[in-house]
A and B are shown apart, each in its own frame.
Chain A
């Protein structure tokens, strides 16, 4: 009796542990809680920290662009640099931060308003009407200068999605920010984050000339060994995990996972397609969602399943759910594509091709009326498996509109292989390339 109670208690404990593991790891993957060490970007980290420190402490104006693909850790880098910077008491008192995002501040007026808000200058600006945009901005910076007893407080502008700011009219905001960083006395640091490598080409000439041309690239040439190390670091539990025995078990299971050949193959596949945090987090959270009371550790099979889910072709998945009539139409389109070498087709051609198939067969299992076939065709259009060639559809009849197939041969054949209870003659028809 007592033993049973003990077992139950142990079980309970594991349940708590799992909840904690989930909480910690989910926070890490979804919120990008900063990992302790930023491996593989120490150089960039140091450079940015140095630069920002010079602005914050010495009052030097700077501008820098951080360039890297999506999910390469740009925001993480800036966040961790800021965290370290703000540890300094002097800096914390002195530095003002303005965070802007190109997705939110879609034009300069909104951006200026946001700057005013973030600098807490609403009461100063009040209802006063300003002339030009530059006047407004200069006023803001003036106000900054007068705001504190010290002569000037440095302002840090972080522009996320920097490339979207270049689409604003005349690039006024960028011009003024960079101009201030070049000439005016208020110390300003402009940090832009972008995923476009050609971002400098997007800048106007006058804006470009005011930019310091300092760029930090996050194009990490990561090796597979480092990638594996990163997986381990992302999955490992922190040192202050309350249940020490469980943590030990967890790290042991992690060790076996990293050494498992099948798991390594799956990870290598991922590594070859993308080596950034974004896709890695997606993979890991899929694994994590399989961790439960009955299966408290991540195994190689979880990793394999997760990678299969991510790598599966979504179009083939959709083809699986089509009715047999719709599949036949797709095969007819594939034949038309083969014969006429990618020329666009309309509904009547597809129907004609389908009719030819029916003629060759004696039994008329698929003798449908034209409107029924039309409905199937329209369903395919709705799923965007086929697309009209030109947008102006108003003046042509629906059935004569030219379409293009948005699938390739391999996808159709793969879907055909997976299709449940696919009739043999349909499969044969699909195989026969030329009549």
Chain B
């Protein structure tokens, strides 16, 4: 056993199995355990553990609590939408169902503390009790008194109780403005590349050798490490793409030792995975299906963003195009784009430089009044369109589809202002269907 996890007061055998279950996190587990002290000793009222996602925060705490059989309530703040749920869980675990029934219908913190104190007299803590709260950043959104009260809960209930908060966000952003009892802060550092490799190599495939899997992980990290350090995500990607990696082997084309050929085979595949399955463009299931269909090139399947193309009525398309033009073009250029006789804009260097700074495609859409939308609409539609009720209802239905957004809610009828909320790709696809070259009309691209 490593020297890191030698804490007196705990069973050596159990500590050893803890160490086995926590690869690369022994140091942190040891620090945490020595901070908490021996079970019957008092420990600090609140401990705040922060670190990146999937850096083993809850895993370490869970394993310690489970293996060492410490009395503990693990609560995720996502679940505890009301304080009552939290109180119920705590009382149920520590004192059994009798205590829970004492809680009134809408318990306040005061009720909880009173019941806890009364129960504590009957069954005092022989060892430290723990309340572990995951995703503690959500505590800030709830009742303003909840977080400060939890931090000094040990003092309030006068029991050997420690609250452990786990979060991705640093403590500075938690502090209430009148201050509170400061918790002990503990940082869980990220896994280094070597550690990631070590952990990922642990779940090897039974029918292949460990070195083979490890070399696969090496290639995977080579592609993904610069983008993603989330262990969970990497593990998921490793599991998804392993069959593809083994393919040349099962076909008998290469040997296990021929790393270079395997790399040549898998690398473009992994790069494609980054653009599709990593950003959940295609689901994992679709990805697996695509791998089985040999002939079909992966990525040929339409992803989620390809489905954003929606079918609209003819005039709605033009309305949307007009809205896009109104949003992204400055109003002073309307004359030049949409009237027949106009002067030319000279592209001087000064113009181009100014253009770059104030480009609306960087700054985002600008609001425009309804009149301008209609004026542009009549200019881009070739045929004569009567301003019927249907045209106006189409505008409002574009708003409900969230393709347009009404900016100011002050007046529904009199001169409402809108903003266009679609991307350039989307509007290009739309205008292609009606044979309209939108890029010619955009100020940023002339």
User: Does the CB pair A384–B187 fall under 8 Å?
Assistant: no
Task: Report the minimal beta-carbon distance from B142 to chain A, rounded to whole angstroms.
Answer: 13
**In the complex with contacts A289-B35, A320-B190, A384-B169 CB distance below 8 A:** yes
User: Does the CB pair B275–A104 fall under 8 Å?
Assistant: no
* Complex contacts, A240 vs chain B, CB 8 Å: none
Q: Is A196 on the interface with B (CB-CB < 8 A)? A: yes
Instruction: Indicate which residue in A104, A195, A292 contacts B34 across the interface (CB closer than 8 Å).
Output: A292
Instruction: Indicate which residue in A102, A348, A382 contacts B168 across the interface (CB closer than 8 Å).
Output: A382
Q: Is A364 on the interface with B (CB-CB < 8 A)? A: no
Q: Is A358 on the interface with B (CB-CB < 8 A)? A: no
Task: For B158, give the chain A residue with the smallest CB separation.
Answer: A31
Task: Report the minimal beta-carbon distance from B317 to chain A, rounded to whole angstroms.
Answer: 20
Q: Is A45 on the interface with B (CB-CB < 8 A)? A: no
Q: Which of A105, A348, A371 has the most CB of B within 10 A?
A: A371
Of the stretches B18-26, B50-58, B378-386, B429-437, the one at the interface is B50-58
User: Does the CB pair A318–B43 fall under 8 Å?
Assistant: no
Q: Is B1 on the interface with A (CB-CB < 8 A)? A: no
User: Does the CB pair A30–B8 fall under 8 Å?
Assistant: no
Of the stretches B72-80, B223-231, B332-340, the one at the interface is B223-231
CA distance A104 to B108 in the complex (A): 8
User: Does the CB pair B281–A400 fall under 8 Å?
Assistant: no
Q: Is A216 on the interface with B (CB-CB < 8 A)? A: no
Of the stretches A14-22, A142-150, A218-226, the one at the interface is A14-22
**In the complex with contacts A103-B109, A323-B228, A346-B364, A286-B37 CB distance below 8 A:** no
**In the complex with contacts A369-B275, A397-B364, A114-B168 CB distance below 8 A:** no
**In the complex with contacts A320-B189, A369-B275, A110-B35 CB distance below 8 A:** no
Instruction: Indicate which residue in A19, A71, A314 contacts B170 across the interface (CB closer than 8 Å).
Output: A314
**In the complex with contacts A196-B178, A290-B34, A323-B43 CB distance below 8 A:** no
Q: Is A250 on the interface with B (CB-CB < 8 A)? A: no
User: Does the CB pair B37–A289 fall under 8 Å?
Assistant: yes
CA distance A312 to B189 in the complex (A): 13
* Complex contacts, B423 vs chain A, CB 8 Å: 397
User: Does the CB pair B108–A106 fall under 8 Å?
Assistant: yes
Instruction: Indicate which residue in B110, B169, B226 contacts A110 across the interface (CB closer than 8 Å).
Output: B110
User: Does the CB pair A321–B34 fall under 8 Å?
Assistant: no
Q: What is the 8 Å Cβ interface bit string for chain A, positions 204-233, against chain B (1 contact, 0 not)?
A: 000000000000000000000000000000
User: Does the CB pair B173–A384 fall under 8 Å?
Assistant: yes
Instruction: Indicate which residue in A18, A293, A321, A324 contacts B51 across the interface (CB closer than 8 Å).
Output: A321
* Complex contacts, A323 vs chain B, CB 8 Å: 225-229
User: Does the CB pair A101–B156 fall under 8 Å?
Assistant: yes
* Complex contacts, B364 vs chain A, CB 8 Å: 346, 348, 396-397, 400
* Complex contacts, B362 vs chain A, CB 8 Å: 346, 348-349, 352
CA distance A15 to B50 in the complex (A): 32
User: Does the CB pair A293–B8 fall under 8 Å?
Assistant: yes
CA distance A278 to B305 in the complex (A): 53
* Complex contacts, B343 vs chain A, CB 8 Å: none
User: Does the CB pair B156–A317 fall under 8 Å?
Assistant: no
Instruction: Indicate which residue in A26, A292, A369 contacts B6 across the interface (CB closer than 8 Å).
Output: A292
Task: Report the minimal beta-carbon distance from A85 to chain B, rounded to whole angstroms.
Answer: 19
Q: Is A282 on the interface with B (CB-CB < 8 A)? A: yes
Interface size on A, residues (CB 8 A): 72
User: Does the CB pair A19–B38 fall under 8 Å?
Assistant: yes
CA distance A417 to B315 in the complex (A): 57
**In the complex with contacts A26-B41, A105-B110, A278-B182 CB distance below 8 A:** yes
Instruction: Indicate which residue in A32, A69, A163, A395 contacts B407 across the interface (CB closer than 8 Å).
Output: A395
Task: Report the minimal beta-carbon distance from A143 to chain B, rounded to whole angstroms.
Answer: 20
Task: Report the minimal beta-carbon distance from A157 to chain B, rounded to whole angstroms.
Answer: 15
Interface size on B, residues (CB 8 A): 70
User: Does the CB pair B170–A315 fall under 8 Å?
Assistant: yes
* Complex contacts, B181 vs chain A, CB 8 Å: 70, 278
User: Does the CB pair B108–A70 fall under 8 Å?
Assistant: no
User: Does the CB pair A372–B178 fall under 8 Å?
Assistant: no
User: Does the CB pair B50–A318 fall under 8 Å?
Assistant: yes
* Complex contacts, B170 vs chain A, CB 8 Å: 314-315, 317-318, 384
* Complex contacts, A31 vs chain B, CB 8 Å: 42, 154-155
Q: What is the 8 Å Cβ interface bit string for chain B, positions 149-185, against chain A (1 contact, 0 not)?
A: 1001011100000000000111111000011111011
| Chain B stretch 263-281: residues in CB contact (< 8 A) with chain A | 274-275, 278-279, 281
Q: What is the 8 Å Cβ interface bit string for chain A, positions 324-348, against chain B (1 contact, 0 not)?
A: 1100000000000000000000101
User: Does the CB pair A30–B45 fall under 8 Å?
Assistant: yes
Q: What is the 8 Å Cβ interface bit string for chain B, positions 276-307, against chain A (1 contact, 0 not)?
A: 00110100000000000000000000000100
| Chain A stretch 1-35: residues in CB contact (< 8 A) with chain B | 15, 18-19, 22-23, 26-27, 29-32
User: Does the CB pair B192–A420 fall under 8 Å?
Assistant: yes
Q: Is B148 on the interface with A (CB-CB < 8 A)? A: yes
Q: What is the 8 Å Cβ interface bit string for chain A, positions 161-175, against chain B (1 contact, 0 not)?
A: 001100000000000
Task: For B361, give the chain A residue with the smallest CB separation.
Answer: A348
Q: Which of A285, A317, A369, A376 has the most CB of B within 10 A?
A: A317
* Complex contacts, A382 vs chain B, CB 8 Å: 168
* Complex contacts, B192 vs chain A, CB 8 Å: 420
User: Does the CB pair B55–A15 fall under 8 Å?
Assistant: no
* Complex contacts, A314 vs chain B, CB 8 Å: 50, 170-172, 185, 187
User: Does the CB pair B42–A30 fall under 8 Å?
Assistant: yes
Q: Which of A31, A103, A397 has the most CB of B within 10 A?
A: A103
CA distance A102 to B143 in the complex (A): 13
Task: For B229, give the chain A residue with the smallest CB separation.
Answer: A323
* Complex contacts, B363 vs chain A, CB 8 Å: 346, 400
User: Does the CB pair A397–B41 fall under 8 Å?
Assistant: no
Task: Report the minimal beta-carbon distance from B154 to chain A, rounded to whole angstroms.
Answer: 7
Task: For B279, give the chain A residue with the smallest CB separation.
Answer: A371
Q: Is B44 on the interface with A (CB-CB < 8 A)? A: yes
Q: Is B202 on the interface with A (CB-CB < 8 A)? A: no
**In the complex with contacts A23-B41, A27-B42, A315-B170, A163-B178 CB distance below 8 A:** yes
* Complex contacts, B38 vs chain A, CB 8 Å: 19, 22-23
Q: Is A44 on the interface with B (CB-CB < 8 A)? A: no
Q: Is B442 on the interface with A (CB-CB < 8 A)? A: no
CA distance A66 to B419 in the complex (A): 56
CA distance A18 to B6 in the complex (A): 14
Q: Which of A315, A318, A346, A384 has the most CB of B within 10 A?
A: A318
User: Does the CB pair B145–A103 fall under 8 Å?
Assistant: yes
Task: Report the minimal beta-carbon distance from B171 to chain A, rounded to whole angstroms.
Answer: 6
CA distance A234 to B270 in the complex (A): 59
User: Does the CB pair A104–B35 fall under 8 Å?
Assistant: no
* Complex contacts, A114 vs chain B, CB 8 Å: 110, 114
Task: Report the minimal beta-carbon distance from A72 to chain B, rounded to whole angstroms.
Answer: 11
Task: Report the minimal beta-carbon distance from B257 to chain A, rounded to whole angstroms.
Answer: 28
* Complex contacts, B138 vs chain A, CB 8 Å: none
Q: Is A182 on the interface with B (CB-CB < 8 A)? A: no
Instruction: Indicate which residue in A15, A69, A195, A375 contacts B279 across the interface (CB closer than 8 Å).
Output: A375
* Complex contacts, A384 vs chain B, CB 8 Å: 169-170, 173
User: Does the CB pair A104–B110 fall under 8 Å?
Assistant: yes
User: Does the CB pair B108–A110 fall under 8 Å?
Assistant: yes
Task: List 18 contacting pairs A-B, 8 Å CB cutoff, sorted by A.
Answer: A19-B9, A19-B41, A22-B37, A23-B38, A23-B41, A26-B43, A104-B113, A195-B178, A292-B34, A293-B8, A320-B189, A321-B55, A323-B226, A323-B227, A371-B305, A375-B279, A395-B419, A397-B421
Extra contacts, 5 of them, besides A352-B362, A371-B275 (Cβ < 8 A), are: A30-B42, A70-B179, A117-B114, A371-B305, A375-B279
B-side residues, CB < 8 A to A, are 6-9, 31, 34-35, 37-38, 40-45, 50-52, 55, 108-110, 113-114, 143, 145, 148-149, 152, 154-156, 168-173, 178-182, 184-185, 187, 189-190, 192, 225-229, 274-275, 278-279, 281, 305, 361-365, 405, 407, 419, 421, 423
